[in-house]
Amino acid sequence: MKQKFLFVFLLFALVLSACGTGQSASTPAVVRIGWGGGPDTLNPGMAILAVEYTIFELVYDSMYDLNLDGSFTLSIAESATASDDGTVWTFKIKEGLKFHDGEDLTAEDVAFTYNLYKDTPEYPYLNGYYTTYFDSIEATGNNEVVLTLTEAIPNIESQLVYLYILPKHIWETASPTEFDNVTMIGSGPFKLAEYVPDEFVRLAANKEHFATPPKVDEVIFQTFDNPDALVQAIKTGQVDMISSLPGTAVEGLKSESAVTVVTGAPFSPGPEDIIFNQIDPENCPVDEGGLCTGHPALRDRNVRLALAHATDKQKIIDVVLFGLGTPGFTLIPDGLGVWFNNTLTDYEFDTAKANQILDDAGYLDTDGDGVREMPDGSRALSFRINWDSDNSDYPRIAELLKEMWAEIGVALEPQAFDADALTAICCPTFDFDIMIWGWVSDPDPSALLYVYTTDAIPYGSSETGYSNPVYDELYNQQQVTLNFEERKEIVWEMQRITHEDVVYIIPYYAQAVQAFRNDRFTGWIIDQSKIELTDVTSLVLIEPVR
């Protein structure tokens, strides 16, 4: 009897809930986004994950907005003026800006926020990277913020773009590291309505936003642990957009008429790289634990060039990424927009040419075992190749390279390593021959360009040990060149040099794949080189399909 009652109750509840959800969908315009993650913290300072920044971009304003082409626009300030020597910046904050709780956003809040980021060393990015050049920040009576830098820098926009403006009246009494910020008062085009960790984030439109009031009423980000469920959810209309999907599902989803699949360079591109240990023994950072056991052949540009000619990048892209990538040149990916040197041409895949280069350089197979030897016959061209065992693409790349390079008499000894073990043999130890690894990128190219410098060798940022005085000089120059066009020229030249020297082989720049229901919302930005439908640029524009 009791069981029967329970059953009836369950049925009753199910019917009710089904009615409830059906009703709520009809009136307000709610965008339901399915994604593979979710924010771990809402405290901008403590955040590390890309998905956290996605939420911050929607809920907070910052000094500049990052556009999908890699350029910046001034956001909360009317004007930004630099002193003649470029070290003092004055930002005139717009009048009438409001936080979500109704309080005014003024220069006081901006100055407070910048000081908070500058004075909290526990903030891995916002302190560690973006406030490096901050000397002092002050608010003046005129709703102006005066930012004094320790030296002139060319990329103030990219330094400020992620420094989200926090309300002073809330944060001045909070502990910078312990504060969980679950009410998340910001000033951006969306305000936090509800946050359930590991389940969803619900944002409500801030229709009073000064620049970009959204046309929809709500955006919900729902966490899916299972990529197949994401695909299924968009197919059946349980969500309106998905921010990622497995490469295997792309073709199947394209055949759904109500779903549009879009691909493009990712918003925060992370280049993958095949690293050659080419450190000169003279540069070996012995004091920092350098062992420098790399194979001497890899110091020879001819060998690296031959390996580049023997690498069929398109095959790697087809096998590993199901075609969703473009061949890469240097650490600066196409996703960096204006900074990417699109005039470079790749080394064509040509095994005969690769063999010819090695023959001419004196690397011959003297003992007839199918593997070439050094010109002096001392060692075979047999290289260790290691990669991060957390990554499922790298073993496939290694396997393909082994096949491809065997064609030119080069042998590989593949072995996966735990990320920490890999760091230990990597840098500044240089106890390896070849590695496959990846970087995360910043909108400004400076951080990745630094990786190629001689200065970076003892700090463990240089993974190749590459050292080129001409390049080093250019790096220093671009750091102080305030004119955008001039700086761009230098950055492009630096890419040309490192591509020419075959410092790395960049197998590909992976593409982002996203999909949306074309019967639900319209207006997504899909005509730019970068694709990021979860970005504020799209979410403030879209509106329901009539």
Partner 1 sequence: MNRSRAILNKTAWAVFTILFVIVLNFFLFRILPGDPARAGMKDPRLKQEAIEALQVRFGLDKPVINCFDSLNPIKIGNCNVNPLETQFFIYIGNLFKGDLGISYDTNRPVSEMLSERLWNTILLIGAGQILSIILGMVFGILGAWKARTLVDYGSTGISLLFWSLPTFWLGIVLLFWGSANGFPIAGKATPGMSSYPLFQQWGDVLWHMFLPTLTYTIIFMGEYTLIMRSSLVDVLSEDYILTAKAKGVSAFQILKDHALRNAMLPLVTVIAINLGFTVAGAIQIESVFSWPGLGSAVFEAVERRDYPVLQGAFILIAVSVILANLLADLTYTYLDPRVQVE
For position 352 contacting partner 1 by CB under 8 A, the verdict is no
- Cβ-based nearer residue to partner 1, 440 or 470: 440
- What mask, x for binding partner 1 by CB under 8 A, covers residues 133 to 152? --------------------
C-alpha to C-alpha distances, 69 to 66, 144, 267, 531, nearest whole angstrom: 8, 29, 10, 10
Cβ-based neighbour number of residue 333 at 10 Å: 27
In the list 62, 75, 223, 534, the residue contacting partner 1 (rule: CB under 8 A) is: 223
Candidates 9-17, 74-82, 206-214, 535-543 — which segment interacts with partner 1 by CB under 8 A? 9-17
Candidates 198-206, 255-263, 401-409, 497-505 — which segment interacts with partner 1 by CB under 8 A? 198-206
For position 438 contacting partner 1 by CB under 8 A, the verdict is yes
- Minimal distance, residue 99 CB to partner 1, in Å: 23
In the list 447, 497, 526, 541, the residue contacting partner 1 (rule: CB under 8 A) is: 447
Where does residue 386 rank: exposed (0-12), middle (13-18), buried (19+ CB within 10 A)? buried
DSSP-assigned letter for residue 257: T
Candidates 274-282, 299-307, 349-357, 438-446 — which segment interacts with partner 1 by CB under 8 A? 438-446
Candidates 302-310, 402-410, 440-448, 525-533 — which segment interacts with partner 1 by CB under 8 A? 440-448
Query: Which DSSP helix (H) or strand (E) runs through 106?
Result: none
Candidates 42-50, 57-65, 339-347, 373-381 — which segment interacts with partner 1 by CB under 8 A? 42-50
CA-angle at 466, arms to 461 and 471, nearest 5° = 95
In the list 8, 14, 258, 286, the residue contacting partner 1 (rule: CB under 8 A) is: 14
- Cβ-based nearer residue to partner 1, 10 or 480: 10
For position 361 contacting partner 1 by CB under 8 A, the verdict is no
For position 258 contacting partner 1 by CB under 8 A, the verdict is no
Please tell me the distance from the alpha carbon of residue 196 to that of residue 188, in angstroms, as a whole number: 20
In the list 40, 104, 346, 501, the residue contacting partner 1 (rule: CB under 8 A) is: 40
- Cβ-based nearer residue to partner 1, 28 or 296: 28
In the list 148, 461, 518, 529, the residue contacting partner 1 (rule: CB under 8 A) is: 461
In the list 1, 2, 4, 21, the residue contacting partner 1 (rule: CB under 8 A) is: 21
For position 434 contacting partner 1 by CB under 8 A, the verdict is no
Candidates 16-24, 92-100, 313-321, 368-376 — which segment interacts with partner 1 by CB under 8 A? 16-24
Please tell me the distance from the alpha carbon of residue 13 to that of residue 102, in angstroms, as a whole number: 39
For position 10 contacting partner 1 by CB under 8 A, the verdict is yes
- Minimal distance, residue 110 CB to partner 1, in Å: 23
- Cβ-based nearer residue to partner 1, 306 or 457: 457
Please tell me the distance from the alpha carbon of residue 454 to that of residue 458, in angstroms, as a whole number: 8
Omega into 246 within 30° of 0, i.e. cis? Answer: no
Residue 54 CB partners (closer than 8 Å, separation 6+): 221, 534, 535
Please tell me the distance from the alpha carbon of residue 433 to that of residue 465, in angstroms, as a whole number: 11
In this structure, the dihedral spanned by the alpha carbons of residues 283, 289, 293 and 294, taken in order and rounded to 10 degrees, is -60
- Residues that contact partner 1, how many (by CB under 8 A): 67
Please tell me the distance from the alpha carbon of residue 485 to that of residue 501, in angstroms, as a whole number: 25
- SS3 track for 481-545: CCCHHHHHHHHHHHHHHHHHCCCEECCCEECEEEEEECCCEECCCCCCCEECCCCHHHHCCCEEC
In the list 122, 208, 318, 500, the residue contacting partner 1 (rule: CB under 8 A) is: 122
**Number of alpha carbons in the 13 Å side-chain half-sphere of residue 404:** 22
Please tell me the distance from the alpha carbon of residue 344 to that of residue 308, in angstroms, as a whole number: 15
For position 338 contacting partner 1 by CB under 8 A, the verdict is no
For position 190 contacting partner 1 by CB under 8 A, the verdict is no
- Minimal distance, residue 177 CB to partner 1, in Å: 7
CA-angle at 352, arms to 346 and 358, nearest 5° = 85
Please tell me the distance from the alpha carbon of residue 466 to that of residue 456, in angstroms, as a whole number: 9
DSSP-assigned letter for residue 165: P
The one-letter amino acid at 384: R
For position 443 contacting partner 1 by CB under 8 A, the verdict is no
Query: Which DSSP helix (H) or strand (E) runs through 126?
Result: none
- Cβ-based nearer residue to partner 1, 128 or 377: 128
- Minimal distance, residue 421 CB to partner 1, in Å: 6
Candidates 39-47, 91-99, 290-298, 342-350 — which segment interacts with partner 1 by CB under 8 A? 39-47
Task: Specify the 3-state DSSP secondary structure of 76.
Answer: coil
Instruction: Determine the angle formed by the axes of helices 351-360 and 301-309, rounding to 10 degrees.
Output: 160
For position 304 contacting partner 1 by CB under 8 A, the verdict is no
**Which residues form the interface with partner 1 (CB under 8 A)?**
10, 12-14, 16-18, 20-21, 24, 30, 32, 34, 40-41, 43, 46, 48, 121-125, 127-129, 177-178, 180, 193-194, 196-200, 202, 218, 220, 222-226, 228-229, 232-233, 235-236, 238, 390, 418-421, 423, 437-440, 442, 447-448, 450-451, 461
